[in-house]
Structures are given as C-alpha cells and as structure tokens.
Structure 1
Amino acid sequence: MGVVNLVVVGDCLLDVDLIGTVTRLCPDAPAPVLAQRSQRSRAGGAGLAARLAATDGVDVTLVTVIAPDADGAVLRECLDGLRTVAGRAERSTSVKTRLIADGRPIARVDRGGDGPAPLADDRMLAALHEADAILVSDYGCGLSADPRLRAVLTERAARVPVVWDPHPRGAEPVPGVAAVVPNLAEAKGFAGVDETGLAGASRSAAWLREAWQVDAVVVTMGARGALLVTSSGEQLVPAPEVRAVDVCGAGDRFASVVATELMRGKGLPHAVADAVRKSAAFVAADIAEEMSRQSIVDEKATAQELVAAVRERGGTVVATGGCFDLLHAGHARTLRAARALGDCLVVCLNSDESVRRLKGAGRPITGQRERAELLAALDCVDAVVVFDEDGPQQVLSQLRPDIWVKGGDYTPDRLPETPLVRSWGGTVVVTPYLEGRSSTRIAETLTSIVEEGDCVPTGR
C-alpha cells in the first residue's frame, strides 16, 4: 500500500496543564495550594487526535477552524509540523486548563468558546475529498453541524471508512459511517438507557446503530474494554488491567487507532482490539509514579510513546534486556529491581533469530511472541521491544533510557552497551547474579532428564 491520508476533521481546543505539587491548604478555605513547577500547552480535541494518529506512521491532515485570538495563536504553535487546513473561527478559542498535582488532576478551569458556530470553507471541504479515511472528532463546538460539511461527509462515507467520535453537545453522525465510538456514559445518554455496565452498553449500542443508520457502534468502557456491535452481533474486547489516574486523551487515542486500522484495510474486530491495546498503553504512560502498571506487549512505536510520555513528566526511564528463554527467579529479581529504579521499565528482548545466533540451533525453547507475552504478564514490566540484532545497541539508541540494568556477576565497564548508554548521560547498573539460576542450566537439566528416560514425551 502506498502513502495514505487520514483526515481528522473537528473541533480543536487548547489544553493547558499547570503542573506542580500540593503540600498545604489555603489558610482561608479547605482548598489545595498548587506549587506550580511548570506549564505545558498542547492541542486538544481534534488536534490531539491528529497528533496521536500521526504516531502510527500514516500521513495525517487536520481539518478544523482556529480563532484569530491570542489563544488561537498558541494553538497554531502547538499544531506546528502537522499538516493543517484551518478555516477562520468567529468564536473564541476554547481553553481547558488543568491543575496537575503529583501526576493527578485536581481541578479544571474552562474558558472561551463564545460566539457563532463555525462553518467549513471550500479549502476544508476539498481536503475531505483527498482522504483515504476520515475521523470526525466532535467536541461540541458546532463544526459537525455545518450542512455543507455533513453533505460531503455523507458522500465520503460511501467511499472510504469514516469513524465518528461523538459529543453530547455535538451533531448526530451522518448515515453510513463505518463506526461510531462513544464512551459508555455518552452512549447511554444518546440512547436514553438507564441500565449500567455491559447491559447498558449493549442496549445503547444496538439502539444507536439503528437510529443513526451506521455500520457499527463501539462503546468504550474504560478498564472493561470495548463492546463492538454490528449487524452480525456483539464482540467484547477486554482491556489490559491498567490502574489509571489520568485518562485524558484515551478516547482520542482509541478513535485515531480505529480510523487508522480501517484505512489500512483491517476489519473492525482487529481495529478495535488494536485500539483497546494502544489506548491502554497510552493510559499506562500517563499514570502517576506510585501507581502500579499492567504490562503491555507492544511494538517499538508504543514503547517509544511510553518513554516519551514518562520523560515529559520528568520521570526516569529504565530498560533491561536479554533472551529470557525460560523465565526463572533470577529474571524476576532482576526485573523487579530494575523497575524499582525508575518510573517505567522497557524490556529489550532478543528475537528468535538473535537467540539462535547467540545460543545455537536448539534455542530458543520458547518463541519470541510467547516470551514477550510472559514478560508482559509481570507487573514490573511496562513494555517489551523485540530486536533482531545480536545486541540491544540499536533499540537502546532509539529509546535512550536513563538507566540500563543487567543481571550478572560482572561490572558495568565489561558490558558492550555501557559506552553507548553513557554517551547520553545514562547510568548502567548491574544487579547481583542469582547463583544456580539460568535458562541454559534449566534447558540442560531438562535435556538430561529426557535422555536418561526419566520421562517420556507423549506427543501432546
């Protein structure tokens, strides 16, 4: 497949985070005092969805409107580097300012958004005709209600996948949309359903699919995953167990992945499963230091996304690596020790071919997919990256961890990775070797048992 173009159309917001710590209350009221350390601005709404879609390696065009005010100028700066077709908004820029204390949002202040509803201009409509897929990111500012825009979206929905992320104050999706992706509260509100949990999601999705005349409704349910409802039935996609403090942007990540995968020709079940997995990774990268993380097996892009998010929050990135052919207590101790040194742990895992070159034709005993899955099942591992080279230097150059950890009975100066890690100011740590524990020794013991006839393989 050649270069494809995902168009994200919708309302752009300006998100501002005031980041600091809280150690006391106001003397005149029981309100926390935020000692601000830093401030971060980013594009929210459709702007965030477009940014996140771009991390998946596709060409992205953002179609939106931006106000000619001071906040709009900041928003334009936040969109720098992203191909944007922006009309003029006659209403003020919507700004959402969050107060973040020790990684946790404690309050939000909203302002702006006053004025007439925005309209799409000819350039914006023309950009939609160049799309291989479209994501409508509706944040209730009125753009999705523009009649000319809706007419073009209706025509495009018959030709390319259109994914619609709705808003309670937004317009209904146009007929023929491939997937609408509300969260559970939104779906129940749209459908007027009172039931809770999975039953509420099921009833709401079935009603919305018929009422809106769309191909599918996907209800996101946070930690419970997502429910996909189509004409052929329902499918529940469970989510990895992630204890999240701040889930801001998770819905945008979900919608962007669904749209991207549909554009790549994947079916809805695949697209939804991938969206659940990557949304969990996004949330896991955003949780506070003291919260435990559930492991996520993912591609290099997701590991880099995790590392970038942790580093942006001032956290420490830890990495370790190896073959991990047969997991044993020595591995577990090293991994736990490594995770305790920082805010996330990425495991760099030798591929099957890499292990074979290092340890011989009979290895690995366990394939790379299973090894990665077993590692990810440990609560001290945040991401797994598989590499094909003999050593991890290439993937280390991409991740640039603050700390590189190896288990063994040698010193850091004897490790071939040490000069590379130290070149960017990183630290190399060696954890004590657990005597008598090694994958090779376990493999040799198993081989000797079979050869001596103490056990007979059954072939099952």
Structure 2
Amino acid sequence: MGTADLSEAVRALRRASVLVVGDAMLDRYVYGTVNRISPEAPVPVLSVEREVAMPGGAGNVVRNLTAIGAAVAFLSVVGDDQAGSDLTGLIGGQPGVEPWLLVQGGRATTTKTRFVANGQQLLRADQEIARAVHPRLADRLVRIAQDTVAATKVMVLSDYAKGVLAGDVPSRLIAAAHAAGRRVVVDPKGDDYSLYAGADLITPNRKELRQATGMSVESEPSLVEAARALRDRHGFGAVLVTRSEDGMTLLEGDSVQHFPAEAAEVADVSGAGDTVVAIVAAGLAAGLPMAIAARLSNIAAGLVVGKVGTAVARDSDILDSLTAERGALRKVVSRMKAAEMAERWRQRGWRIGFTNGCFDLLHPGHVHLLEQARSWCDRLVVGLNADESVRRLKGPTRPVQSEAARAAVLASLAAVDLVTLFDEDTPLALIDVIRPDVLVKGADYRVDEVVGNQEVQEWGGVVRLAELLPGNSTSATVARIRG
C-alpha cells in the first residue's frame, strides 16, 4: 500500500467507535530540579517546579483513541478518593468520550507518581488495590457493556491486572461483544490467556508471549511458532506480537507479516502498548484490513516512543510521518508538536528559547537577533505571525510573503530549531504552551513591554533583549521596493 493509500487509511480512523473496558489509572508526574543531597539521609532533594496528571492504563488507550478523533465509550472502576475524582474529570474532559466510571467505596484508585529531575526518573510511588472489584459491581459493568457494545464497532479489553478484568469478567464481555456481532481486541496481562479465549485479536509483547506459552521467542521462526500455539490453544482470531526494537509480528490465518520498528529514536517507551492496541482497534472499527491497522499501529508506536512520558500519537502526527518533509521544512510544526518537542528537550536538561515576529522579507537584522537568541539557549523556537495576524498588525498590503514562504526561510537558518505559527495578535497563548526558559525580543523594547515577560519570569525563566543592527527594517525595505 502506497503513501496515499496509507494516508487515506489514517483519515478513516476518525470514523471509528470503540468501547474500552479495563483498569483505569492516574499517572502523575512531578518535575523539578536536584541541587543537593538531603542532610537527613543520602537521598536527593527534589525542588518541585510543576506537576502533571493524566489518565493511565486503560485511560491511556482512551487518550490515544481521542487523539485520532475516534468516538469512545469507556468502562472502568475507580475508588471513592481524590484520585478517582481527578481521573473522572480528566476522562470526562476529553472530546468524544462517553465515560462509565463506576465507583467502589473503600477502594484506592490506582495512582502512579513519578518524580523526575533533568530528564531522569528518580522514583516511582504506586498506590493501588489490585483485588478483583466487588462482584455486584462487576455484574453492573458487564450489563453496561452489553447495552453499550452495539453502539460501537470494536471492544477493547485493556488488562493491567488491577481487578476490573478479573475472574470470568473477560469471557462474559467477549461473549457479549460476539453476540452483538462485534470484534474484541485484548491487551493481556499475566500468563493465563484462557481468560480471553475466543478474542479476535490479542496483543502480547515478546516477554508476555514467552510467559504465556513457555516457548522460545528469540528468533522470528520460534516467535511465530509460539504465537501460533497461543492462538490455537485459546481460539484467538489473530495474534499481534510487539517486539520493541524489532518491530511487530502479525499472525493472521496462514499469513505472517513482520513490521520493522519505525522509531527514529527512543526517548520513553511508556504507553507504547496502549498506542498499539488503540490504533489497531480503531483501524478494525473503521473497516480497515487487520494488516493495515497493524501497520498504522506500528507507525504510531514509533512516534510515541520518541516522546517524553506517557504520550499519544495524533492522526496529524501519523500523516506527517507518512509524508515527512525533508530538510529544513521538518522544523515547521504545529503548536501542539512544538510544545511536545519543547517538553522533550526540557526533560533532557536543555534550555528552551523563544522569540516571535512577522519576519517578512528576512534581513540581516533578523538574522542577528536570531543568532543572539540561539546563543542564550540550547534550542530556539520561533513563533511566526500567520498571514491574518500580520494583516491586522501591519495593514492590508502585508505580508509581502505568505506564511508558508516565511516559515520555510526561517527554518533554513541554523540558529532556528523550530518554527510554529500563531493566529492571535500576540504570542501569549503560544508562550504558555511552549514554556520557554529564555524569552527574547529586540532592544527596542523594555523588559516590561515584552509580551509574556511576567509569565516566563514566574516559572523561573528570563527575558533577554537582543542588540539591533541599525538601518534594518522590513517596513522601510517594503517602502523602498514600492517606490
């Protein structure tokens, strides 16, 4: 299948509707810096700078589905605690989600808190109860699934062994899906796969396949034999084995397909399995052949492991990877991608710089400012006024060059690491998502006049004023050209 056909397949994912049932978790990330060792014990002291919370476990499958525009119904169980309330709010706040988060009194919502400094995880603290949910709650969950499954195309069972999919719950859910004519995709846990007997697709990783079968999985032939044995033993329709740096292997009927790894570089493997099950399920729900759905999931997983933290792959990310620009144009990215790249760089301990402008008819003064800005940071993001924004600021005859042309010229400069456009009159919203460490403007401003100065200084950043080259002005140049 060519690039155009794959691009059309990615766009089809938006037609998907998926029911996800499984163990929801709350992932918390506490970021800060370490400058000293505690006098109380030989442990680092983390100076906390910010905290981030997001859905994890089966909730991350939901995040991945909403990121590609799919419609999702989500069934899970949380505790009657603050974490459960936070998780319910995070899930309910996502577009296109119908949440059914049942509450069990006295149960702790699974929470994983990661403490991170300079891109290094110092400690993970877990709070959870991994016992099976109360039988009456399990019965209610199955009844809701029976009523909901007909309104979706595929059911996903995301098992993290925290109690939602314990006992006979998986078999009852699979029976309900098949009774409604729906397929079931399972992300398994443990070594007893009889729990998922009859599922249409199961997605173990290489280690899980070895544990479930007791067979060697080191070579491709042995891995295929183990996958075939697993399928035949439990009546699975197909087996998709994720193999980390070796990609994926799909066993479907008599066909075996190997998909090489797509990751250009690996920053964090957290959540890659959730991405795989989400994209392959969405593909099946959209009517794609299983091999195409698996291929798209492989591409998406390669994108996710290149990001920091429990990340997702948007449909735009997948499309961009299929039609990736070469050379300098790769630096021209969306606002969301710029924010993700900045976060990735920040976690490596790099200082992020930001400056902005119209940059119409790039001249030596612009280049001088950008080179100064880049000297004050490790990576420089340039916010570029979109055409409509320039017209509002400069008048109906500007810009002289389109936003695409201006972005391409900026991206060709060695001093510039990313270019992203903004439609607003000021870059404040963009600054808020990039969160630069260094905010740069020309010396014709005072620090208190620079948009975003208060916000940047509040989170510990600095504002720098770049020296200007005299005699360089875009407006003057335009006036001379027009006579």
Q: For the residues of structure 2 that align with 1:78 and 1:106, how far apart are their CA atoms?
A: 25
TM-score w.r.t. structure 1 length?
0.65
1:2-34 deviation line (CA, Å, top 9, x unaligned): 954211111101111111233444456554433
Residues 144 and 171 in structure 1, CA contact (< 8 A), matched pair in contact too: no
Partner of 1:51 in structure 2?
Answer: 63
Partner of 1:424 in structure 2?
Answer: 427
Partner of 1:175 in structure 2?
Answer: 197
Counterparts of 1:81-230 in structure 2, within 5 Å, are: 81=93, 82-90=97-105, 91-113=107-129, 115-118=131-134, 119-121=138-140, 122-145=143-166, 147=168, 150-157=171-178, 159-168=181-190, 172-196=194-218, 198=220, 201-230=223-252
Quote the offset at 1:173 in angstroms.
4.8
Residues 267 and 306 in structure 2, CA contact (< 8 A), matched pair in contact too: no
Q: What amino acid sits opposite 2:99 in the alignment?
A: T
Q: What amino acid sits opposite 1:147 in the alignment?
A: D
Structure 1 residues 28 and 298 mapped into 2: Cα distance closer, same or farther (>3 Å)?
Answer: farther
Partner of 1:244 in structure 2?
Answer: 266
Q: For the residues of structure 1 that align with 2:409 and 2:424, how far apart are their CA atoms?
A: 7
1:269-309 deviation line (CA, Å, top 9, x unaligned): 11111111111111212279xxxxxx972479x96764453
Q: For the residues of structure 2 that align with 1:161 and 1:33, how far apart are their CA atoms?
A: 50
Partner of 2:379 in structure 1?
Answer: 342
Q: For the residues of structure 1 that align with 2:427 and 2:341, how far apart are their CA atoms?
A: 17
Q: For the residues of structure 2 that align with 1:199 and 1:34, how far apart are their CA atoms?
A: 48
Counterparts of 1:371-386 in structure 2, within 5 Å, are: none
Q: Which stretches in structure 2 are left out of the alignment for 5+ residues?
A: 1-11, 311-318, 325-332, 347-351, 356-370, 384-400, 431-439, 443-483
Residues 32 and 116 in structure 2, CA contact (< 8 A), matched pair in contact too: yes
Q: What amino acid sits opposite 1:128 in the alignment?
A: V
Partner of 1:351 in structure 2?
Answer: none
Partner of 1:256 in structure 2?
Answer: 278
Q: For the residues of structure 1 that align with 2:63 and 2:422, how far apart are their CA atoms?
A: 34
Q: For the residues of structure 2 that align with 1:393 and 1:32, how far apart are their CA atoms?
A: 47
Q: For the residues of structure 2 that align with 1:271 and 1:6, how far apart are their CA atoms?
A: 14
Q: For the residues of structure 2 that align with 1:131 and 1:266, how far apart are their CA atoms?
A: 15
Q: For the residues of structure 2 that align with 1:273 and 1:395, how far apart are their CA atoms?
A: 35
Residues 422 and 428 in structure 1, CA contact (< 8 A), matched pair in contact too: no
1:5 equivalent among 17, 20, 37: 17
1:392-425 deviation line (CA, Å, top 9, x unaligned): 56998xxxxxx982438xxx9xxxx989587425
SS in 2 for 1:253: helix
Quote the offset at 1:157 in angstroms.
3.6
Partner of 2:76 in structure 1?
Answer: 64
Partner of 2:308 in structure 1?
Answer: 286
Q: For the residues of structure 2 that align with 1:190 and 1:230, how far apart are their CA atoms?
A: 19
SS in 2 for 1:156: helix
Residues 310 and 343 in structure 1, CA contact (< 8 A), matched pair in contact too: no
SS in 2 for 1:266: coil
Q: For the residues of structure 1 that align with 2:75 and 2:34, how far apart are their CA atoms?
A: 39
Q: What amino acid sits opposite 1:135 in the alignment?
A: V
Structure 1 residues 213 and 287 mapped into 2: Cα distance closer, same or farther (>3 Å)?
Answer: same
TM-score w.r.t. structure 2 length?
0.62
Q: For the residues of structure 1 that align with 2:99 and 2:18, how far apart are their CA atoms?
A: 12
Residues 205 and 217 in structure 1, CA contact (< 8 A), matched pair in contact too: yes
Structure 1 residues 317 and 43 mapped into 2: Cα distance closer, same or farther (>3 Å)?
Answer: farther
Partner of 1:14 in structure 2?
Answer: 26
Q: What amino acid sits opposite 1:83 in the alignment?
A: E
Structure 1 residues 307 and 73 mapped into 2: Cα distance closer, same or farther (>3 Å)?
Answer: same
Quote the offset at 1:46 in angstroms.
0.9
SS in 2 for 1:76: helix
SS in 1 for 2:303: helix
Q: For the residues of structure 2 that align with 1:16 and 1:169, how far apart are their CA atoms?
A: 28
Percent identity, aligned pairs only, is 23
SS in 1 for 2:305: helix
1:185-218 deviation line (CA, Å, top 9, x unaligned): 1111111234435455334322211122111111
Partner of 1:75 in structure 2?
Answer: 87
Structure 1 residues 272 and 107 mapped into 2: Cα distance closer, same or farther (>3 Å)?
Answer: same
Q: How many residues align?
A: 350
SS in 2 for 1:54: helix
Residues 308 and 343 in structure 2, CA contact (< 8 A), matched pair in contact too: no
Quote the offset at 1:54 in angstroms.
0.9
Partner of 1:309 in structure 2?
Answer: 340
Q: For the residues of structure 1 that align with 2:382 and 2:321, how far apart are their CA atoms?
A: 12
Residues 138 and 170 in structure 1, CA contact (< 8 A), matched pair in contact too: no
Structure 1 residues 128 and 137 mapped into 2: Cα distance closer, same or farther (>3 Å)?
Answer: same
Q: What amino acid sits opposite 2:412 in the alignment?
A: G
Q: What amino acid sits opposite 1:221 in the alignment?
A: R
Residues 164 and 179 in structure 1, CA contact (< 8 A), matched pair in contact too: yes
Q: For the residues of structure 2 that align with 1:146 and 1:204, how far apart are their CA atoms?
A: 25
Q: What amino acid sits opposite 2:266 in the alignment?
A: A
Q: For the residues of structure 2 that align with 1:286 and 1:100, how far apart are their CA atoms?
A: 11
Q: For the residues of structure 2 that align with 1:138 and 1:107, how far apart are their CA atoms?
A: 24
The higher relative CO (CA closer than 8 Å, separation ≥ 6) is in: 2
Structure 1 residues 298 and 98 mapped into 2: Cα distance closer, same or farther (>3 Å)?
Answer: farther
Q: For the residues of structure 1 that align with 2:126 and 2:338, how far apart are their CA atoms?
A: 30
Residues 205 and 243 in structure 2, CA contact (< 8 A), matched pair in contact too: yes
1:155-187 deviation line (CA, Å, top 9, x unaligned): 424622311001127864533322111111111
Q: Which stretches in structure 1 are left out of the alignment for 5+ residues?
A: 289-294, 320-333, 347-389, 397-402, 430-460
Structure 1 residues 305 and 259 mapped into 2: Cα distance closer, same or farther (>3 Å)?
Answer: farther
Counterparts of 1:350-369 in structure 2, within 5 Å, are: none
Q: For the residues of structure 2 that align with 1:157 and 1:312, how far apart are their CA atoms?
A: 43
- Higher alpha-carbon deviation: 147-156 or 272-281: 147-156
RMSD, aligned CA: 4.1
